[in-house]
Chain A
Amino acid sequence: MTILRVHNLGKAYKQYFSHWARLAEWCLPSSRPRYHIHWALQNVNFEIDPGQAMGIVGMNGAGKSTLLKIIAGTTQPTTGSIEMKGRVAALLELGMGFHPDFTGRQNVTMAAQLFGFSVHEIQDLLPEIEAFAEIGDYIDQPVRTYSSGMQMRLAFSVATAKRPDLLIVDEALAVGDSYFQQKSFSRIRKFREEGTTLLLVSHDVGAILSICDRVALLHAGTMVKEGDPEEAIDFYRALLAEQDIGLIRQERQAHGKVQTISGRGEMIVSDIRLLDSNGLPIEAVEAGTRVTLEIRSRVNRPVPEVVAGFMIKDRLGQIMYGINSDRLRQPIEHLAAGDELVCRFQFAMNLGKGNYSVATALSRRDSHVTDNYEWRDGGFIFSVLNTKKPDFVGTVSLDAALEVQRISENQINP
């Protein structure tokens, strides 16, 4: 069973040559086109099952908001179709249609009416909305006296007063204090457990990775990647660095993980190894031990300078740590074609138990957005074990010590 089926969706905007061209098109029937067609979205296909969460990522202008607007029903598609079951709630812009001179309560009623609720339903929902927004007596004050955070709280509470079957969120949660952000995310999580499908657009890759079980990557109006979140996000990160989609490729490796490689190829990483204190290659590391990360790369074309770096990411793709030769003040310059560069980073593996992946970067500058020689995500996978240290939770080993002092009545007054 699918709750949302998007088939061959496309959206084209007409760009008329002039204002008169449109008038001419309306009045004079002629086959001569009087406009350019600009495709904001083309050939998008996907299906979502109830309870799934899909993240949509992409650069500005990739078509994310257009896609959400079409699904939410505010814009009509030019081609293709959408089949949907159940009620949709879209948090495209919170607080839209709030009138500054009316009280919070009156605005809530209005907003709920705009969502198509009946007066009766609204009466039932009001106390709930009020309680969730936690704005106290302000509910009976005009909205113009509200802070933007309070408006957002109220707007979110109304929009999610009833569990929708499909919830569309477009970065709306970026406002509000962290307390309310937590609260709204837990409401969204609860909805998901009860079967709500979530469609989330965000530039916050961390938020996407922690919530979504599928990610779609839009680029220039087409869906270039759809599926496993980590894979899609790696591709997205590579895209952010590279801009040119033709230079990005993904390879499935023997261990099932996908490696994403992008860059112009002046240099390429030939081998990544993790070595223990005896210099032997390992794939599992004891938490807290010292290791060496060895990155060997080959120079294909001469490069004037290179910054070599790495990042360690957890299983959700969140970055644990990253450093490069520039930040470690070790300039590497004038490499000739055929040279081999070996970088050995030494550090203590102060991470919690779990699986991690290594991303490597070879670029001309500290920021790999300029002159990216090679960017490689998921190039090496390793796991951290913890058999020696106390069994802590989390991803960072802080080596806590404990001192217990017991204070009781008879000790203070002997």
Chain B
Amino acid sequence: MVNAQMKAIWSYRGFIWGSVQREFQSRYRNSLLGSVWAVLTPLATILIYTLIFSRLMQVRLPGMNDTLAYSIYLCAGILTWGLFAEIIGRCQTVFLENANMIKKLTFPRICLPVIVVLNAGVNFLIIFGLFLCFLVLVGRFPGWVILALPPILIVQIALAIGLGIVLGIMNVFFRDVGQFVGIVLQFWFWFTPIVYPASVLPEYVQPWFRLNPMVSVVAAYQSILLYGQWPQWSTLIPVLITAIVVCLLAVGLYRRRAGEMVDEI
């Protein structure tokens, strides 16, 4: 099954890649500056976080003296969370949004989430690349530790894909899922130490936080990008297991419901 899906994806790589390009281009198609916007928008985001928090509000992280630390802390969490949330958010509507195509054309449906993930990946690469440039400019580039990023990203993306596909399929049958996920993602964001440091939380909430896989993922990014330290790999093992379980669930659900899905959209 998984093998067959992989083969299908490979033989439709032209379509997948074309769709990714097309979606990227279509966003800037009728604008004068074109794909410059693809850089300007994330650049503005990064500038806002750094200028507002470090210069205007002078927010400081406990134990860190310089004003840039909080900005880097914030970006490390927000940018990666953005990737996570984009994949989940887009995957859960991908089957409904492409209802017409699914009903009228024959092609491997699994291509659709793949396109979503690649698109989110492209957006992430742009903004994260800018962020890394910014780190180099201010002299805070973490060095070799950066190599720890890709494996963590892969685990995080796997978790997002699994969740996204499960929610995407459920959303076809129960439209409530779409509404529900929007709310859950907001709660999830604020229950993860992205905007605030984990240490500000009272003692009794800490054990509950371990149930949130994103806590250790975001903590790992922060440790790499802000402190220049290798992440604590052991904290990521539960996340990896969760990601695998969720992905298996997604495959199982896809296998059982993909056929029925066409009749419902």
A222 within 8 A of B: no
Alpha-carbon gap, A281 to B30, bound state (A): 76
| Chain B proximity of A269: nearest CB distance (Å) | 46
| Chain B proximity of A413: nearest CB distance (Å) | 66
Chain A interface size, as a band, is 20 to 34
A383 within 8 A of B: no
B174 within 8 A of A: yes
Q: Which residue of chain A lies nearest to B111 when distances are taken between CB atoms in the complex?
A: A114
Q: Which of A14-43 contact B (CB under 8 A)?
A: 14, 19, 22-23, 26
Q: Which residue from B18, B101, B107, B263 sits with its C-beta under 8 Å from A13?
A: B263
The reply to whether B14 and A97 contact each other, CB–CB distance below 8 Å, is no
Enumerate chain A residues within 8 angstroms of B262, measured Cβ to Cβ: 74-76
Alpha-carbon gap, A122 to B15, bound state (A): 12
B33 within 8 A of A: no
| Chain A proximity of B100: nearest CB distance (Å) | 6
The reply to whether B26 and A22 contact each other, CB–CB distance below 8 Å, is no
User: 7 new A-B pairs (CB below 8 Å) besides A92-B105, A113-B14, A117-B14?
Assistant: A13-B263, A14-B263, A73-B106, A74-B104, A74-B106, A90-B106, A116-B11
A102 within 8 A of B: yes
A349 within 8 A of B: no
Alpha-carbon gap, A372 to B100, bound state (A): 41
Enumerate chain B residues within 8 angstroms of A162, measured Cβ to Cβ: none
Enumerate chain B residues within 8 angstroms of A262, measured Cβ to Cβ: none
Q: Which residue of chain B lies nearest to A95 when distances are taken between CB atoms in the complex?
A: B104
Alpha-carbon gap, A23 to B176, bound state (A): 11
B7 within 8 A of A: no
Q: Which of A111-157 contact B (CB under 8 A)?
A: 113-114, 116-119, 122
| Chain A proximity of B260: nearest CB distance (Å) | 8
Question: What 0/1 readout, one digit per residue, does chain B (14-30) give for beta carbons within 8 Å of chain A?
Answer: 11001100100110011
Enumerate chain A residues within 8 angstroms of B104, measured Cβ to Cβ: 74, 92-93, 96
A318 within 8 A of B: no
B55 within 8 A of A: no
Q: Assuming A74-B262, A118-B14, is B106 touching A101 (CB within 8 A)?
A: no
A109 within 8 A of B: yes
The reply to whether B18 and A74 contact each other, CB–CB distance below 8 Å, is no
Using a CB–CB cutoff of 8 Å, the interface residues on chain B facing chain A are 11-12, 14-15, 18-19, 22, 25-26, 29-30, 100-107, 173-174, 259-260, 262-263
Alpha-carbon gap, A97 to B102, bound state (A): 10
| Chain A proximity of B259: nearest CB distance (Å) | 4
Nearest first, the 5 A-B pairs at minimum CB distance are: A76-B259, A113-B15, A73-B106, A113-B14, A93-B104
Chain B CB count within 10 A is highest, among A88, A99, A114, A122, for A114
Q: Assuming A96-B100, A118-B14, is B105 touching A74 (CB within 8 A)?
A: yes
11 contacts between A and B (CB under 8 A): A14-B263, A72-B106, A74-B102, A74-B104, A96-B100, A101-B29, A101-B30, A110-B18, A110-B22, A113-B12, A116-B11
| Chain A proximity of B37: nearest CB distance (Å) | 15
A300 within 8 A of B: no
Q: Assuming A102-B22, A109-B18, is B105 touching A97 (CB within 8 A)?
A: yes
Enumerate chain B residues within 8 angstroms of A97, measured Cβ to Cβ: 100-101, 105
| Chain B proximity of A97: nearest CB distance (Å) | 5
| Chain A proximity of B133: nearest CB distance (Å) | 31
| Chain A proximity of B17: nearest CB distance (Å) | 8
Q: Assuming A13-B263, A96-B100, is B18 touching A113 (CB within 8 A)?
A: yes
The reply to whether A102 and B26 contact each other, CB–CB distance below 8 Å, is yes
Enumerate chain B residues within 8 angstroms of A75, measured Cβ to Cβ: 259, 262-263
Q: Which residue from A23, A88, A117 sits with its C-beta under 8 Å from B174?
A: A23
| Chain A proximity of B115: nearest CB distance (Å) | 12
| Chain B proximity of A210: nearest CB distance (Å) | 27
Enumerate chain A residues within 8 angstroms of B25, measured Cβ to Cβ: 102
Alpha-carbon gap, A73 to B106, bound state (A): 6
A243 within 8 A of B: no
A8 within 8 A of B: no
